Structure 1
Amino acid sequence: MQPAVIEIAPSDAELETEIDALLSGGISWSETLGFALATLRTNPMRTLLTTLGVLIGVAAVVALLAIGRGSQESITASITANGANLLTIRAGAASSAGIRGAIGEGASLTMADADALAETSRNPAIALVSPEYSGNAQLVAGSTNMNARVTGATAIYAQVHNTTLAEGEFISAADVSATAKVIVLGANVAETLFAEGGAIGQQVRVNGSQYRVIGVLESSGGTGFGSLDDGVLVPLSSAQRSLFGARAVGGSWSVSTIVVQARSAEEVDAAQSQIETTMREEHDLALDGSDDDFSVINQQEILETVTSTTQMLTFFLAAIAGISLLVGGIGIMNIMLVSVRERTREIGLRKALGAREQDILLQFLFEALALSGVGGLVGLLIGSAIALAVSMTGLMTAVLSWDVALLAFGFALMVGLFFGIAPARSAARLDPIVALRYE
């Protein structure tokens, strides 16, 4: 005999409690996310085309910001490689009838000016002073000749300009005193004149005069911002008297420029103020600067100007690239709205089976975030690859950073969320009865 099975049916109150719990609990986030991903997988081509705008936008933003940051760092390195905390003094025309002339048209700077600036008691913020005289000259070694920038320098030049030697020795104080016919070659000049090496001890004719090579400089990696790769150095006295015929002013030889190194970055402004005061006293000029016959170029001001300019250009480039992200967001919204119309019966069926408005809303938002997220990740990879490829060419430098990557990816997610709200709300607000009748 089979034992009797007694089924105890739940009471109406218990059934009502279970139904209320089901309706109040709805669908879990993990289930909603699963529905969203499954829907995207059913239309891979549509998913790919929808993410294309976001993908291109993120790739462009990452690549352009990396290239912009790399260019900024390269420019900064080029400026500071010639020496830190530098101020350059050049001759400048005095004012005449309220009109100031061009730099270089005024009275010459002299060695006496350099000596006055080197007085620590008058200029405590100044560490080093390098008087210089520059001009172009024709260089000849054997059957090879070239035109190059020739700078007359003292022994202090190497320290002020952070110059290092690849081989040989630098100009000494004795060379300057003796007006010695010696020369130090820039890296590119040495390679051009002595392609097979062995430049030390060789003779180079400079405007017809024989100079003995005593040193070759290390390459500074470029030709801009005063790089000496394409220039040469000779004793200051030789440049003044033998090569360029510098005139003497008040018994003191003239110089083209005087380069001053401040004791620290914090004392650059103080050093500039002291330079201006000393120069006005030496030239008997008004202390208010109204008739200055010289100009002071502050390296830090140049650096700040260049940095702000490159940052602004990079920002505009990134903003232009960001437009494609917005276009991608509009594409996501359009596709999602079409998807809502195509899936009206599905939405009605899900709501009839107990799905709440917020469940439908979350599903469509997850779909929009998935589209923008996938596009953002692929865009990050492509943008990084472009930046690395640019760096490998050697023409430009690109610097990738986590903050740029996170910014681009976060913006892509925000775009997806923003443009996914309208389709999601449209789907969530559908009347289940009307939706089920939709053909």
Structure 2
Amino acid sequence: MSNVFWESVKIALDALISNKLRSILTMLGIIIGVGAVIAMVSIGMGVREKVSSSIASLGSNLIIVTPGAASSSGVRQAAGSNTTLSLKDAQAIAKEVAGVGAVAPSVSKQYQLVAGNMNWNSGVQGTTPEYLDVRNLSMQAGSFITNEDVDSRKRVAVIGATVASNLFDNTNPIGQSVRINNAPFTVIGVLASKGQSAGGQDQDDTVIIPITTAQERMMGITYVQAISVQAANADVVDQVQDGITSLLRARHGIAGDKTDDFTVRNLASVMATAQETTGTITMLLGSIAAISLLVGGIGIMNIMLVSVTERTREIGIRKALGARFSNILMQFLIEAVVIGVIGGAIGIALGIGTSFAISSFAGWQTVITPTPIIVSFAFSVGIGLFFGLYPARKAALLNPIDALRYE
């Protein structure tokens, strides 16, 4: 049995080698299909990884409180509702809600920055010292704002890496003066780089100043635009979220079924939704690419049928010399499977190469995992077997007398 099998393999390989161009063209559908599946899935996985890391980079166990009621379509700002949160709300959350690790209220606005003869537009965040831990930031140089800076409304600023490179180029920005909306501020620190967010925003294009300075000296407001809350650990996030909601409803005098004038969002649920969405996108990309694998299988069947017709006399001679139904069936099945195996192997190399090329030249993040490689290869071999079965059976069922008389 072993000798018969290897003889069939040899005959099948000889047949494929003697028709090189036809064999390559037959494999092309499988090669493109497998390569496309691996490349598309790696792009989808890369998007998922980037979204997850971007959300995680905002801070661990993070809950964000924003003014305005929530609706089924997202957050809507009711008339005047964007002024419903205050510094006292943030202080109350820190003192009265169990399981809270840190609280950082914030306000923000775009301003023009000027340093010497250089200028740059950037988002300016007014916040408290807790913002560093709550938002997972770290210092590259200098120091962060302090409670003393907040209490005395100091004109000090901590800048992101993008702002530092655009305003100060290669010089050390620490201790230098920068004008924000024509008001002078002293740079006391530079944040470590965080790169782009999932939405493509530059997280290093930021300036952080004390919240009291921003409210009273820059914007002339008394409310806050967001309160970032870090839960002590992942297990109490939901408990903290409920506690914040209850506290703010009581503080704002919201009773019964009246709509909240604030929105509390849990980043863990945002992460789960984002992963579900990107998972669906990955599945869709992989499914679209898999269609070309199916087309490749049909191509195998077509070529194998042509091959059976062309080799009718050869089949007749083999049968006349004693080849059985199983011998002929095995020979043509092996040809189809070999096409699937070789095409799948080349397709894997093409898919991995394409993923690296996309990552290098387009700058997209791609993630290559074993699962799509194994599945697409197994699928290519299975397709070779499935679509090769009908031509192989047709060849094996040929009447040797009719086959020998075939012209």
TM class by smaller structure: over 0.9
The unaligned stretches of length 5 or more in structure 2 are none
From 142, 151, 161, the counterpart of 1:177:
151
Whole-angstrom distance in 1 between the partners of 2:125 and 2:79: 17
2:90 is matched with 114
Alignment of 1:189-338 (within 5 A): 189-222=163-196, 228-247=203-222, 254-286=223-255, 288=257, 290-338=258-306
Give the C-alpha shift of residue 105 in structure 1.
3.7
Whether the aligned pair in 2 keeps the contact of 1:154 and 1:176 (CA below 8 Å) is: yes
Whole-angstrom distance in 2 between the partners of 1:27 and 1:426: 24
1:50 matched to 2:26? The reply is yes
Whole-angstrom distance in 2 between the partners of 1:136 and 1:42: 70
- Deviations along 1:24-52, one digit per CA (max 9) or x if unpaired, are x6962111111111111110011001101
Whole-angstrom distance in 2 between the partners of 1:383 and 1:215: 45
Please tell me the root mean square deviation across aligned C-alpha atoms, in Å.
Answer: 1.9
Whole-angstrom distance in 1 between the partners of 2:57 and 2:345: 37
The unaligned stretches of length 5 or more in structure 1 are 1-24, 248-253
Whole-angstrom distance in 1 between the partners of 2:359 and 2:237: 34
Give the C-alpha shift of residue 93 in structure 1.
4.8
Whole-angstrom distance in 2 between the partners of 1:57 and 1:272: 47
From 52, 70, 90, the counterpart of 2:46:
70
Alignment of 1:266-415 (within 5 A): 266-286=235-255, 288=257, 290-393=258-361, 395-415=363-383
2:389 is matched with 421
Larger of the two Rg values belongs to structure: 1
Give the C-alpha shift of residue 264 in structure 1.
2.2
Whole-angstrom distance in 2 between the partners of 1:26 and 1:188: 68
Does the residue aligned with 2:153 lie in a helix, a strand or coil? Answer: coil
Does the residue aligned with 1:397 lie in a helix, a strand or coil? Answer: coil
Whole-angstrom distance in 2 between the partners of 1:227 and 1:302: 20
Percent of aligned pairs with the same amino acid: 44
- Deviations along 1:230-276, one digit per CA (max 9) or x if unpaired, are 110001110111011113xxxxxx21110111222232222211111
Whole-angstrom distance in 2 between the partners of 1:273 and 1:294: 13
Return the letter of the residue paired with 2:108.
Answer: S
Whether the aligned pair in 2 keeps the contact of 1:91 and 1:103 (CA below 8 Å) is: no
Give the C-alpha shift of residue 123 in structure 1.
2.3
When residues 412 and 185 of structure 1 are mapped into structure 2, their CA distance, relative to the original with a 3 A threshold, is same
**TM-score normalized by structure 2?**
0.94
2:121 is matched with 147
Whether the aligned pair in 1 keeps the contact of 2:70 and 2:263 (CA below 8 Å) is: no
Alignment: residue pair count:
402
Whether the aligned pair in 1 keeps the contact of 2:195 and 2:203 (CA below 8 Å) is: no
When residues 194 and 230 of structure 1 are mapped into structure 2, their CA distance, relative to the original with a 3 A threshold, is same
- Deviations along 1:275-332, one digit per CA (max 9) or x if unpaired, are 11111111111255x3200011221222222222222122112111111111111110
Whether the aligned pair in 2 keeps the contact of 1:103 and 1:294 (CA below 8 Å) is: no
When residues 185 and 32 of structure 1 are mapped into structure 2, their CA distance, relative to the original with a 3 A threshold, is same
- Deviations along 1:135-192, one digit per CA (max 9) or x if unpaired, are 1212111111122111111111101011011110001111111111100001101111
Whether the aligned pair in 1 keeps the contact of 2:113 and 2:180 (CA below 8 Å) is: yes
Give the C-alpha shift of residue 196 in structure 1.
2.2
Whether the aligned pair in 2 keeps the contact of 1:27 and 1:359 (CA below 8 Å) is: no
Whether the aligned pair in 1 keeps the contact of 2:61 and 2:233 (CA below 8 Å) is: yes
Give the C-alpha shift of residue 378 in structure 1.
0.6
1:84 matched to 2:60? The reply is yes
